[in-house]
Each structure stands twice: as C-alpha cells, then as structure tokens.
Homo-oligomer: A and B are copies of this chain.
C-alpha cells in the first residue's frame, strides 16, 4: 500500500477489469493458439505522448496469476515519440493475449491524463502557478487519475472528502454565506486541516479573508476579476482559480499571480493516449 498502485482499491479495480474482460476464458486464443507457444510483446506509442501507468504491467500480471514478465523501457512521466517502444513483455502467448487489452486500456487512460496535464503544465511554465486536479476523476480511478496527473507534472488537490476542507457553492447556500461557512469550519473541523472556500466575486473574497480562510477558490471568474482578487488577497491566503480554464486561457490566468489553477478536464475529458501491443512468437 506504499505506492498508489499497491493500494487495495487499485487491486480491486484491476480485478474488476480482468474479470469483466476475461469472463470464463479467452475462447479465441484457446481455439487458435497452441497452449505452450512462448511469445514476446512490445508496447509501442502510436503518437507523441507522456507515459503513465507502466508499473501496472507487473501488478496486472500478478493479479492475473500469470508468470509472464514485464519490463518498462522508459521512466514514468517521460515524453515519448510516436513509434517508441515503452515496454516489453514475455511469456506464454495465451497470457499476453489475455492481458493485452486490459493493460492497454489502463495505459491509454493514464497516459492520456498525463499527456493532457503536461500540456497545461507546459503552458504555465515559468510562472509560479501550479496546475492541480479536481475530484472529477473517473469513478474507481481516484488514485490512478491523481497519480497520472503527477506524471504529467501537475499537483494534486485533496484526494477525497476527508483530507481537506473545501467549502463549495452548495455548502455556502445551505449555511448562509461565505463568512458564516468559514467560521463554522474553523470551529468544527480538525485542527490539522486548512480551510478553503469557493468565492464568486470580490465581496465574497473579502468576506472569506475576514473569516480568515486559508485558501480562496475563485470560481468561474474572468481573468481581470481574478487579477483583482489576487491583489485584494495580498498574500493573506493562497489563491486557486477554477472553472472552464482551457488550454488557450490557462497562461493568462497563471500570470495573474494565482497559486493554483484546477482543471477538471484533466481527468474527466482526457482522450486516450494511443498505444498498441504487438505479440510475436519467441524462438
């Protein structure tokens, strides 16, 4: 449980994936490939991409109960070029064929998230602003998606509802205002947690500062509004910008001086990175 991939939740997801694909067995391979045929596999990038997820290769084989081998040829987070081989496998052909799709599906997802994150991170290079993720991860992929974000050079916001206080629009509506919400959090939440609150205008930012919020999330503001808010805060709190900040606009937001920009699309809309596996008989 020390590496995210060792967490029981990841094993549960891998098992789900293996079981849903394999069902009661690979009838095609059983019918067409001799059971003792030894083979080698190569995983190749079909486009430029940032790699994430290769250590899953070993975990998947282990959870499958297979004796095949897996070796990553590039480091996690590497930028690889189209045509580059990122990993090798070896073992029974039948094993490689069973594992192929599940492994690729994981790699394409994680590398897709890393690749998109890398674009955002590169876009703000040279500023002091960090690109961070959200809780808009795919169900079951929280740890994996957040890990892939770090492979792309991004940072993680809280991992769940329990490791950070983030007061959002719905909380504020339910308890009657930004100031009141922050004060309640300060009174009731763990002393070990900082308090972040979502603000949609400068009045709320002022209110949050007075209630001594630790972090202010500027939600769906224009870039000039964000700039103004940063000036209002003047270092008394950390500032996060969020809400429809796409690749075109991210740099101008970063240059306002916000500490963090959070981008839901990193994990809710990353297209798969293109990777494939070739399997050949091994003499």
B contact residues around A81 at 8 Å (CB) = none
Residues of chain B with a CB closer than 8 A to A25's CB: 1-2, 4, 7, 161-162
Taken together, the copies of this chain in the complex come to 6
Known A105-B135, A191-B215; 16 more pairs at CB < 8 Å = A2-B66, A17-B140, A20-B140, A20-B160, A28-B166, A29-B161, A32-B181, A39-B174, A97-B170, A100-B170, A105-B268, A109-B139, A164-B192, A170-B277, A174-B280, A192-B196
Judge whether B185 and A28 touch: CB under 8 Å.
yes
The answer to whether A24 touches B24, judged by C-beta atoms less than 8 angstroms apart, is no
Interface string of A74-117 (1 = CB under 8 A from B): 00000000000000000011111110111011101100100000
Please give me the residue from chain B that is nearest to A140 by CB atom.
B16
Report if A138-B138 is in contact (Cβ < 8 Å); known contacts: A20-B9, A24-B159, A143-B20: yes
Give residues in A with beta carbon < 8 Å to B.
Answer: 1-2, 4, 6-9, 12-34, 37, 39, 64-66, 92-98, 100-102, 104-106, 108-109, 112, 135-143, 156-168, 170-171, 173-175, 181, 184-185, 187-194, 196, 215, 238, 259-260, 264-265, 268-269, 271-272, 277-281
In the bound complex, CA of A39 to CA of B174 (Å)? 8
- Cβ–Cβ contact A272 & B268, under 8 A: yes
Instruction: State how many angstroms separate the Cβ of A281 from the closest Cβ of chain B.
Output: 6
Q: Is B1 a contact of A18 with CB atoms below 8 Å?
A: yes
Shortest Cβ gap from A90 to chain B (Å): 14
A185 and B31 contact, CB distance less than 8 A: yes
CA distance A86 to B141 in the complex (A): 25
In whole angstroms, how far apart are the Cα atoms of A105 and B185 in the complex?
26
A138 and B109 contact, Cβ closer than 8 Å, known pairs A32-B167, A171-B97, A192-B215:
yes
